[in-house]
Amino acid sequence: MKKLLIFALFLFAVPILNLRFSIQVLAQTPGDLIQPDEIARVLGDVKKKPTTTETFETRLRVLEAWIILSAKSGKGEEIKQTVSPEAFKNIVKLKKDGKENQAFKATDELFLKMEKVGLPVAPVSAEGSQIQGKCGDGICDEFERAHPNLCPQDCTPEKSTESSGSQKTTKKQKASPMTANVTVDYTKKLGSFSPYLFGINRGGLGAAAEAAALAGFKFSTSGGVPPMANPKDANDPSNYSFFPAMEGVIAATFKAGMEPQIIFGALLPNQDIDQLSIYVKRVATHLRDTKWPNNGKIKIIRVANEPDNLYFWKGTQEDFFKSYAAFAKALKSVDPGFIIDAAGFMIGDIADSPSWVKPFLLYMNKNKVSVDLFDTHLYSPLPNDFYNQFKSLKEELDKYPNLSTVYGTPKLACNEWNFMLDDNWTGKYHTQFDTAWSASYMIAALINMIEQGVVLSISLNEINPSIHDYGLVDSKGNGKPSYYAFKGFNQLANTNRLSTSGTDHMNFAAMSGKSDNGVIVVLSNYDVKMYMDKYHKKETTPTPGTHIIYTLMPFRSKYNIYVSKYGEPKTYNKYNLTINNLTWSSSDKVTYERYIVDDNKKLELTETKTMPGGSTLTFTKDISAPSVEVVKVYVKRKQY
């Protein structure tokens, strides 16, 4: 109830004085943007049909948005005279007391009162952009969080009782799908996309290289450096017999138009540090001196894999730190421009793995050892996990502004991530990797990582018919939905990233880039609850210290924690895309194209039209879940 009173004070006591503060609070609340046209639509529905159990929650949210936007539009005094400060509290109390019909009637009456105030117009901020009320956490959500022991039956009913004679049946109510509001600012550039975001695992040979290039991948794991054949003598020629095979993969990757990443597997417990240093220098010198096709140059070297996992590293923590330091110093002595991708921690969240992440950074900082790309892995069907993990890591890396010889502050990387481990680890084939669930999840997780500053991503998907769960193609070489989803996302390469709102960090994600003549927008519509209800019905306690922990992570528990903090994630069946500050005039002919990836469409052009240009263009479309969409809006001017 305390939160309800705070809300009432905002509306009635000091509507102007606290406006800036209130907008900031709303901006931090997860949810959906309810626009004036949505308010008008719901008002029309209210006039046609009284409120019911099914429409109660949505209508109360819309009322809240209406009041907030009206107050922001300068109608604070009219709101005070029209709506009682106790209005929302009384409606919620009526619902709580079981007086549903009275609560529904009061809701309808409040709509008719607000109609006299008029539909709101979102005001303009001091920076010149529209301020939009973020109303996903409606008054019901606030009441729910203040009184978790009373809900959902008291406020946001998940159950309704229907009578048939003397019998009563209870059925679960599903939240109504929402409209995702996406806004792109054509003038607000965020810099070029890193080419290492368009990465694929082992895409550098034969048909795989061709398919990877056709899908627009720019970066591929290529060429492995094994541990020394003779660890006691780094000068033994047998240590370097792998050079021809490695060179072949690297050359094929360059020829396919991708940049290779070299994987260095030389770190072992209890190894001779001096011999390791000699070995690393010899390999690095060979990589730097060799003439590669297309004037290619080796830049990124990956080293180490999950030292915090007993399956991969059986030495001590100090032993690993010393080995990494020797490796990094030897590599940088050949060329400080080499970029090191390390250390691939299994659990990279600061809260989950403080015993490795923080000590590693402290040790390297103290001993002046470069950390360029700080890499961690993550397996989770919750896109929000990706957003949170890399947020906490970024905050930690910001403490070390001089740790990297290349970047200063180390950059974030993730060279291993997915729903879960593949069938090689679990022994079970996972059909979701063959569906649009994988496609929408992949793009949503990737966008969440990029928003937190990740500059390198490799999801371990491969273009290889013999690979099952992580395959982008089936056993016949046909592309799966994820292949086409990446092909769509990869079109952002070589564009300039634009400021884009609309990502809710769970079910919906949006990202855009400015091309030579227009805008490319990538949208992912996912439904984490529906996905888990279909594929993660059971939850098993993880086994600490083993790689299999990724398959047994308590995803449902993590999901329930999210719900307790933010409420059920919204589901979407429409999106409203607005592109602002365009430089096109009405004489320009603008082309709009819409491509869809789902279980039936393979990045297929499903809609196109031509229209006059303007400073703002808006499109409202239906969107299914799971699916990925690529929207292109561009202009072709006459050549003189």
| Alpha-carbon separation of residue 609 from 161, 327, 631 (angstroms) | 47, 56, 12
Angle, alpha carbons 181-186-191 (nearest 5°): 105
CB 452 within 8 A of CB 387: yes
Find how far residue 412's CA is from the centre of its chain: 14
Locate 535 and state its tokens.
């594929």
What are the angstrom distances between the C-alpha of 385 and each of 76, 417, 508, 529, 534? 39, 11, 14, 14, 20
pLDDT at residue 161, as a whole number: 33
pLDDT exceeds 80 at position 623: yes
How many CA atoms lie less than 13 Å away from 2 in the CB half-sphere? Answer: 3
What percent of the chain stands above pLDDT 70? 79
pTM metric for this prediction = 0.73
**In this predicted structure, what is the pLDDT of residue 349?**
60
In the chain, where are the structural domains located? 2-158, 194-496
User: Which stretch of 58-62, 135-139, 285-289, 344-348 has the lowest confidence by average pLDDT?
Assistant: 135-139
User: Residue 449's pLDDT is what?
Assistant: 97
* Bridge partners (DSSP) listed for residue 634: 518, 591
Q: What is the mean pLDDT of the chain?
A: 82
Residue from 252, 327, 337 nearest 288 by CA: 337
Task: Give the number of other Cβ atoms within 10 Å of residue 522's Cβ.
Answer: 24
The pLDDT, as a whole number, for residue 420 is 85
Q: What number of H helices and E strands is found in the chain?
A: 19, 21
Helices 36-48, 100-117: axis angle to 10 degrees equals: 130
Buried b (16+ CB within 10 A) or exposed e, 432-464: bbbbbbbbbbbbbbbbbbbbbbbbbbbbbbbbb
- pLDDT band (50, 70, 90) for residue 132: very low
More confident residue, 333 or 351: 333
CATH class of 194-496: alpha beta
